């Protein structure tokens, strides 16, 4: 029986969501890693941050923590498929690779959001005393979400690509960070501008355009990897 | 092929030498503007190499033609060298004009990341030992590296940067005077031809190395 594309995507989403929920460490490991990074950052800076730079430091902390913890989440994305040779089965079955990728992609965006939001709160808490007068706009959170849209597409693609290589732990950051940097730099600037109340719409459009570009590219290339 | 490489190199040295020795001086930058004849062509060659990497990767991935593999690797190698040269010459230009060797400008940062990507491609090539793995993995990464080029090019428009906006490929006429514009175009064409000859030469060397490796494998089994 042939399943529609949408139905296949939903089935994959449900499956991957169950996988994410079944192993708690997939959520807690990046979260604890984020918390550790934030503690280290704040301890290193100590009380020496001038008040005028507090917002810049806060945004930088949030985004650097996000980028590092994303790597932890993405690197293990296709571990399950490799362990039980699910990729080989999927290759001979009649499923759409686009549906498989999108299922994985949507679940990864949601699960990473669950890591990022507590991390933002933690970063705010560490600098809370000096950030009380900063207005957290909707666009601050939206810039993080928009960065995740592109980074998740890129992260999933690189994870699938390097899955069977022996040195993937070394190679993954070498490709993920430089390729994801334009998204990261744009989102970081938008978040900063949003907190400072500056104009962000043109930059936001560029970021969303890049998200779409990376998603389409990742979809097309994922199909090539699978075939 | 070696003669062609030397020919273009000789022409390039001759042209650069004559531009550097010319008495023309920029009103604002003085003598230092002349590094433009080296810096801009190097940057364009770094981009051009990534375009060749993209084309080769596309042919490998879609056409399943492994004969383009050496060209992809050669493009990445030569692209890496030209990206480093771009960074070095840009830094030399930056000191007298901006007052610093390096600044966290969007164009500089994204170009530096391009150098890292070219370097990472080299490691990937070493790790992916079989031709099949290289055909798939290196080609996908090659396409992703090329996707970075429009971002580098547009970075001066998207971010507020110290780096000047595009002045060569603009819709209206170039803001440069023709006495600078045309020598620059000559320099760009020669450097592109030189980089192309280097890529072909490097690809031929890679093919030769592969043939020798295959022969050595066969003789060790027989």
ipTM (interface pTM): 0.81
With CA atoms as reference, the chain B residue closest to A162 would be B137
Residue A143 · residue A190 · CB < 8 Å: yes
Note whether A203 contacts B148, CB cutoff 8 Å. Answer: no
Q: Is residue B154 part of a domain?
A: yes
Token digits of residue A204: 């936001």
Residue A146: per-residue pLDDT: 92
Phi-psi region of B64 (alpha: psi -120 to 50; beta: other; left: phi over 0): left
| Interface residue of A179, A180, A183 to substitute, partner B, most B CBs within 10 Å | A179
Q: Is residue B30 part of a domain?
A: no
Residue A65: per-residue pLDDT: 86
Distance CA B141, CA A171 (A): 11
How far the first Cα of chain B sits from its last, in Å, is 34
With CA atoms as reference, the chain B residue closest to A176 would be B117
Note whether B158 contacts A210, CB cutoff 8 Å. Answer: no
- Can you give the residue range of the structural domain that contains B121? 49-164+182-207
Q: Min CA distance, B93 vs chain A (Å)?
A: 25
- The enclosing H or E element of A213 equals helix A201-226
Give A101-145 pLDDT, tens digit per residue. 888 889 888 888 888 888 888 888 887 666 656 666 788 889 999
Distance CA A74, CA A152 (A): 8
Contacts of A175 in chain B (CB under 8 A): 117, 120, 124, 141, 144
Phi-psi region of B172 (alpha: psi -120 to 50; beta: other; left: phi over 0): beta
Compute the C-alpha angle B124/B125/B127, nearest 5°.
Answer: 60
Note whether B159 contacts A185, CB cutoff 8 Å. Answer: yes
Q: Is residue B23 part of a domain?
A: no
Distance of CA B157 to the CA centre of its chain: 21
Distance CA A135, CA A138 (A): 10
A195: exposed, middle or buried (C-beta count within 10 Å: 0-12, 13-18, 19+)? buried
Q: Is residue B170 part of a domain?
A: no
Q: What is the pLDDT along chain B (222 residues), one digit of tens a residue?
A: 778 778 778 787 887 777 777 767 777 777 778 888 889 999 999 999 999 999 999 999 888 778 899 999 999 999 999 999 999 999 998 888 888 888 888 889 899 999 999 999 998 888 887 788 888 888 899 999 998 898 888 888 877 777 877 776 665 666 677 777 888 888 899 999 999 999 999 999 999 988 898 888 888 777
Count of the separate structural domains present in chain B: 1
With CA atoms as reference, the chain A residue closest to B119 would be A174
Token digits of residue B187: 């320099």
Rg over CA atoms, chain A: 19
b or e along A6-28 (b: 16 or more beta carbons within 10 Å of the residue's beta carbon)?
eebbbebbeebeebbeeeeebbe
Q: Is residue B41 part of a domain?
A: no
| Interface residue of A160, A182, A222 to substitute, partner B, most B CBs within 10 Å | A182
Q: Is residue B173 part of a domain?
A: no
Residue B160 · residue B16 · CB < 8 Å: no
Please determine, for residue A179, whether its predicted confidence score (pLDDT) is greater than 70.
Answer: yes
Distance CA B217, CA B222 (A): 9
Note whether B151 contacts A225, CB cutoff 8 Å. Answer: no
Compute the C-alpha angle B47/B172/B18, nearest 5°.
Answer: 60
Q: Is residue B7 part of a domain?
A: no
Distance CA B187, CA B183 (A): 6
Domain segments of chain A as ranges: 5-226
Q: Min CA distance, B211 vs chain A (Å)?
A: 25
Confidence of residue A2 (pLDDT cuts 50, 70, 90): low
Interface check for B216 against chain A (CB to CB < 8 A): the answer is: no
Work out the number of other CB atoms within 10 angstroms of the CB of residue A215.
Answer: 20
Token digits of residue A202: 């043109």
Q: Is residue B95 part of a domain?
A: yes
Token digits of residue A174: 């070498």
b or e along A106-140 (b: 16 or more beta carbons within 10 Å of the residue's beta carbon)?
bbbbebbeebbeebbebbbebbeeebeebeebebb
């Amino acid at each position: 029986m042939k399943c529609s594309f949408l139905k296949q995507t939903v089935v994959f989403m449900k499956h991957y969501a169950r996988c994410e929920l079944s192993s708690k460490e997939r959520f807690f490991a990046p979260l604890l890693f984020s918390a550790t990074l934030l503690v280290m950052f704040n301890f290193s800076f100590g009380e020496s941050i001038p008040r005028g730079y507090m917002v810049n430091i806060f945004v930088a902390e949030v985004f650097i923590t996000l980028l590092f913890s994303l790597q932890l989440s993405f690197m293990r994305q296709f571990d399950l498929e490799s362990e039980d040779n699910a990729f080989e089965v999927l290759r001979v079955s009649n499923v759409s690779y686009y549906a498989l990728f999108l299922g994985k992609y949507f679940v990864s965006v949601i699960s990473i959001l669950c890591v990022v939001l507590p991390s933002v709160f933690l970063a705010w808490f560490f600098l809370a005393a000096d950030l009380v007068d900063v207005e957290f706009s909707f666009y601050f959170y939206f810039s993080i979400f928009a960065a995740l849209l592109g980074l998740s597409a890129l992260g999933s693609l690189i994870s699938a690509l390097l899955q069977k290589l022996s040195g993937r732990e070394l190679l993954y950051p070498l490709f993920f960070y430089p390729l994801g940097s334009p998204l990261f730099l744009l989102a970081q600037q938008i978040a900063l501008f949003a907190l400072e109340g500056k104009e962000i719409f043109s930059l936001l459009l560029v970021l969303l355009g890049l998200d779409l570009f990376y998603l389409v590219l990742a979809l097309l290339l994922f199909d090539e990897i699978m075939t | 092929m070696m003669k062609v490489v030397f020919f273009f190199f000789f022409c390039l040295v001759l042209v650069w030498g004559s531009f550097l020795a010319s008495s023309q001086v920029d009103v604002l930058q003085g003598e230092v503007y002349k590094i433009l004849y080296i810096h801009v062509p190097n940057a364009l060659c770094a981009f051009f190499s990534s375009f060749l990497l993209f084309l080769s990767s596309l042919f490998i991935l879609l056409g399943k033609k492994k004969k383009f593999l050496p060209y992809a690797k050669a493009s990445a190698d030569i692209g890496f060298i030209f990206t480093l040269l771009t960074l070095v010459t840009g830094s030399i230009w930056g000191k007298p004009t901006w007052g610093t060797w390096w600044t966290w400008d969007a164009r500089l940062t994204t170009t530096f990341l391009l150098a890292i990507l070219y370097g990472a491609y080299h490691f990937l090539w070493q790790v992916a030992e079989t031709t099949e793995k290289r055909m798939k993995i290196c080609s996908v990464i090659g396409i992703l590296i090329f996707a970075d080029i429009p971002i580098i090019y547009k970075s001066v428009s998207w971010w507020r940067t110290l780096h000047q906006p595009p002045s060569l490929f603009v819709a209206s006429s170039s803001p440069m005077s023709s006495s600078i514009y045309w020598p620059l175009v000559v320099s760009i064409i020669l450097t592109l031809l030189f980089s192309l000859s280097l890529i072909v030469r490097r690809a031929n060397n890679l093919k030769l190395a592969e043939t020798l490796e295959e022969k050595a494998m066969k003789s060790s089994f027989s």
